[in-house]
Amino acid sequence: MADKDELIGAARNPWWQAAAAVAAVALVATFALGGFKQAKSQTKPLPQYSAGQRVLSGAMAVTPLRAWVARYRPGGQIEPDQLYLVLQADIENLTERSFGGFGYPLKDLILVSATREPVRADSLQMADDHGVIGDLHPRMVQRVDLVWKLPPAYVYAPRQTFGLFARDYKAKAYLNDESGWMQGDPMAKLELPVQDLRDRLVAP
């Protein structure tokens, strides 16, 4: 074990002092820029969008349309003891290649919970026939339903906040040197009124 003099000498070492300073700055930055959490006054707030407004994230264009809560998944059967939150949106693939519906949309378009933490949707469905989403092809707008299965204690708000992450094209990704669209920072908030359809027996 190092004695007292060795510890004091290490603490006075300029390299150790620089490393400690960098670690402290990184820790402060992590808390100050906490994604969709409440930002401090010096942090620029995220732009906010409403229903019908088109938002460009880089890889996608997202137009939120409406949100509702119900006792069933879209196209599903009534579940008396379960509650679902649904966000309906138009999504357009802005890249040059098709990508799976379970990729960017589910990872980038999230629910902002009451604790300001991002929550991914449990499923993504076609809005017209409620089928499973396959590939989203370039420049083709697809209307989808993102579905969250709410926990029993969850209290939804009359207006709900959803979040959208940016996605930027990188010629070489740092992990495997392959090019691709990498998820970036939170870039927008989507604020929509939530329609209460808990007494409805058929899907909207």
Q: What is the pLDDT of residues 142-201, one digit of tens each?
A: 999 999 999 877 778 899 999 999 998 887 655 666 678 888 899 999 999 999 998 887
> Domain spanning 48-196: which CATH class is it, in words?
mainly beta
Nearest to 83 by CA among 158, 157, 150: 150
- Poorest-pLDDT segment among 50-64, 76-90, 131-145: 131-145
Burial environment of residue 110 by CB neighbours within 10 A (0 to 12, 13 to 18, 19 or more): buried
Q: What does pLDDT average to over the chain?
A: 79
Compare 18 and 94 and report the one with higher pLDDT.
94
Angle, helices 4-12 vs 14-32, to 10°: value is 70
Measured at the alpha carbon of residue 107, what is the angle toward residues 101 and 112, in degrees to the nearest 5?
Answer: 125
For residue 194, give both structure tokens.
């939530």
- Per-domain boundaries in the chain: 1-33, 48-196
Q: Which amino acid is at 76?
A: G
At a CB cut-off of 8 Å and minimum separation 6, what does 92 contact? 60, 61, 62, 139, 140, 141, 142
User: Rounded to an integer, what distance in angstroms lies between the CA atom of residue 74 and that of residue 20?
Assistant: 52
Q: How far is CA 135 from the centre of its chain?
A: 20
Tokens 């996605």 label which residue?
167
**What mean pLDDT is predicted for residues 58-74?**
95
Between vectors from CA 110 to CA 24 and to CA 85, what angle results, nearest 5°? 140
pLDDT score, position 22:
39
* pLDDT for residue 41: 39
Backbone φ and ψ for 23, nearest 5 degrees, come out as: -60, -40
